[in-house]
Amino acid sequence: MSGSSTSIAGARLYHLALPMHRSFELSGGIIARKETLIVEVIDREGRSGWGEAPVLLDPIYTTETVAGAKAFLLRSVLPDLPSKVVPLDKLLGPNSLDEVMVTYHRFRGFQFAKCAVEAALCSLAAISKQVSLRTLLGGIRDEIEVGESIGIQPVEKVMQSIHEALNFGYKRIKVKITHGHDIDLVERIRREWPRLPLMVDANGEYRLEDVDVFHRFDRLSLMMIEQPLDYDDLIDHAVLQSQLQTPICLDESIVSLRHAEQALRIGACRIINIKPCRVGGPIQAKKIHDLCQQRGVPVWCGGMFESGIGRAVNLAIASLAGASCPSDMSPAADFYGYDLVARPHVIRQGKVAIPNDPGLGFAVDMGGIKRCLVDCVEFGECP
């Protein structure tokens, strides 16, 4: 096999139940149980690439669920993946989806599931080229600043969580908000920490009729207001942004490069949270990053309770030049009893070092996968 391409021999889909030891509440519901889907692709040389679909059990963030993503992968993607040739030199080209992932390019939606496959192919390409995923994607940072996200909980518990996060060295605090848990909370935080880099995340809870709430936020020196309006909206966000000084950051509304371009064109936001799993994978995430960099729009990388496999992809995206805001990068151990990678990333003085080993940058811990395995389905020739 030439150095410019590799052929897929087999693939595995692992369905895992992660041992979540603390819950997290956002406006759409409480995340108390976590399952995830891991895709492994194996080439003819016996090398493995890994990717994760960190989809939720219930559709409280997007319409995609574990059951739906699993069915899509089992029926529509993985059976045809073995024997595909991955053109390594064209992986990040303008037609990369057509070149690499023609199997599912014609299907609509299922961005989390597509991310798992795209990430697995990218990490396999990185291993084949003997470079890190960061290098493959064009990352330039050796370390990144990270922030902490604090879920909906009683005010005193929020204050305690902020104290703990700041003592741990986090550089930015994000608090989840909902009706009745917004202005008073943020005013209380501001009295305690007047200069704290602070943002709020509504997860689409509010409407344009709530504009007075956002005008009050305008007086509280926030870094940004994340996804204030509906999860699939752009137009109303543009109306709201035109009335605010505080930047709106879009999250759920940006599910593709096209959505990002439209949002910037109409002024729906001034910042974008790029989650590789939400937009279909690391290649798609990089395309959105590149667009925003051309337009002078800051980006950062959010998280979806990934294991270390998914976090590795996020770290690579957060290392890109335009990712200028602190990213959500809490270690998986904050929520789970153990991780799925050996020597997972750690936070030191509010920063995380970007791994530089070939592939994901982390070795996958098969013992961890076996401990939380629900089932595994193989396709093609798997050693």
Give the CATH number of the domain where residue 74 resides. 3.30.390.10
Residue 285 scores a pLDDT above 70:
yes
Which pLDDT belongs to residue 369?
94
Identify whether residues 162 and 192 lie together within a single domain. Answer: yes
Tell me, yes or no, whether 73 and 174 share the same domain. no
> Please, is 353 exposed, middle or buried when counting C-beta atoms within 10 Å of its C-beta (0-12, 13-18, 19+)?
middle
Q: Out of 70, 114, 174, 275, pick the active-site residue.
A: 275
- Within a domain: 192: yes
One domain for residues 233 and 263: yes
Contact between 64 and 37 under an 8 Å Cβ cutoff? The reply is no
Is residue 275 part of the annotated active site? The answer reads: yes
Instruction: Establish if 16 belongs to a structural domain.
Output: yes
What single DSSP character describes residue 348? Answer: B
* Residues 324, 263 share a domain: yes
Is there a contact between 217 and 211 (Cβ–Cβ < 8 Å)?
A: no
pLDDT at 1: 40
Report pLDDT digits (tens) over 361-373. 999 999 999 999 9
Q: Which of 68-72, 83-87, 178-182, 219-223 has the lowest mean pLDDT?
A: 83-87
**The pLDDT value given to residue 5:** 75
Exposed, middle or buried, 108 (CB in 10 Å: 0-12/13-18/19+)? exposed
Residues 159-194: pLDDT tens digits?
A: 999 999 999 889 899 999 999 999 999 999 999 999
Would you say residue 361 lies in a domain?
no
Residue 96 pLDDT exceeds 60: no
Task: Please report whether residue 359 resides in a domain.
Answer: no
Whether residues 202 and 252 fall in one domain: yes
Residue 373: CB atoms within 10 Å: 14
Are 225 and 202 in contact by the 8 Å Cβ rule? The answer is: yes
**CA dist 174 to 51, 207, 302, Å?**
27, 20, 11
What is the average pLDDT across 264-282? 97
Alpha helices in the chain (DSSP H): 66-72, 96-100, 102-105, 111-129, 133-137, 155-168, 183-192, 211-217, 235-241, 257-266, 276-279, 282-295, 308-318, 366-371
Q: Are 362 and 344 in contact (CB under 8 A)?
A: yes
Mean confidence (pLDDT) of the chain: 90
- DSSP code for 219: G
The answer to whether residue 358 sits within a structural domain is: no
Residue 176 annotated to the active site: yes
Query: How far apart, in Å, do the first and last CA atoms of the chain sit?
Result: 19
Domain check: are 33 and 124 in the same one?
Answer: yes
Ranking 39-43, 110-114, 148-152, 202-206 by mean pLDDT, the lowest is 148-152
Q: Which of 176, 286, 287, 351 is catalytic?
A: 176
> Domain span at residue 297?
136-353
Query: Is the residue at 150 inside a domain?
Result: yes
| In contact, 38 and 66? CB cutoff 8 Å | no
Nearest CA to 328 among 349, 355, 309, 347? 347
Asked whether residue 85 is assigned to any structural domain, the reply reads yes
Rounded to whole angstroms, how far apart are CA atoms 70 and 292?
32
Q: Is residue 360 part of a domain?
A: no
Longest Cα–Cα distance of the chain, Å, equals 63
Number of domains the chain is built from: 2
